[in-house]
Amino acid sequence: MATAYHNLSEYSLTSVPNAEQMKFGIVVSEWNDRITGKLLQGAVETLKKHGAKPENILIKAVPGSFELTYGANRMLENCELDAVIVLGCVIKGDTPHFDYVCMGVTQGIAQLNATGDIPVIYGLITTLTMEQAEDRSGGKLGNKGDECAVTAIKMIDLAWSLNK
């Protein structure tokens, strides 16, 4: 697995543009909130570390990961944002529910990116165990929220550089 070879929180600080003028939306799943709360904390702290103003970070919660696409879409339609980050956690159980949720969210976010002008950053952790989720939400493999925040900043910078 790729994350085992790359810490999600390690990146070059100098490679990240200043986020002072950027506006972010974050949609976070309440399901598995022990994990998603840490993802949210990592994302917000990283955005602020790179200059984002607290008033330029809009956070909304949805009940579960499947609802992330709807939440992101509503943010895109109703808020003046430069990027939306979705944060969720799905842990495999004994039924195919895991596959349907993961596939639905992945396709939904891909569709928003393919048809929209504002980047939607995929922050859905999909693991086999709670331990793997903990490792990716501030544990030994870093925090996916950090990675998503850096990705959002870089994608906004890319979009702005192409709109000149």
Q: Tens of pLDDT along 2-60?
A: 656 677 778 888 889 999 999 999 999 999 999 999 999 999 999 999 999 999 999 99
The residue annotated as part of the active site, out of 20, 21, 70, 97, is: 97
Q: Tens of pLDDT along 97-144?
A: 878 888 999 999 999 999 999 999 999 999 999 999 999 999 999 999
Other CB atoms within 10 Å distance of the CB of residue 4 = 10
Is 6 in the active site? no
Q: Are strands 142-143 and 120-127 parallel, antiparallel or unpaired?
A: unpaired
Residues 6+ apart with CB under 8 A from 68: 27, 29, 62, 86, 87, 88, 105, 108, 109, 124
Ordered domains of the chain (ranges, CATH): 22-162 (3.40.50.960)
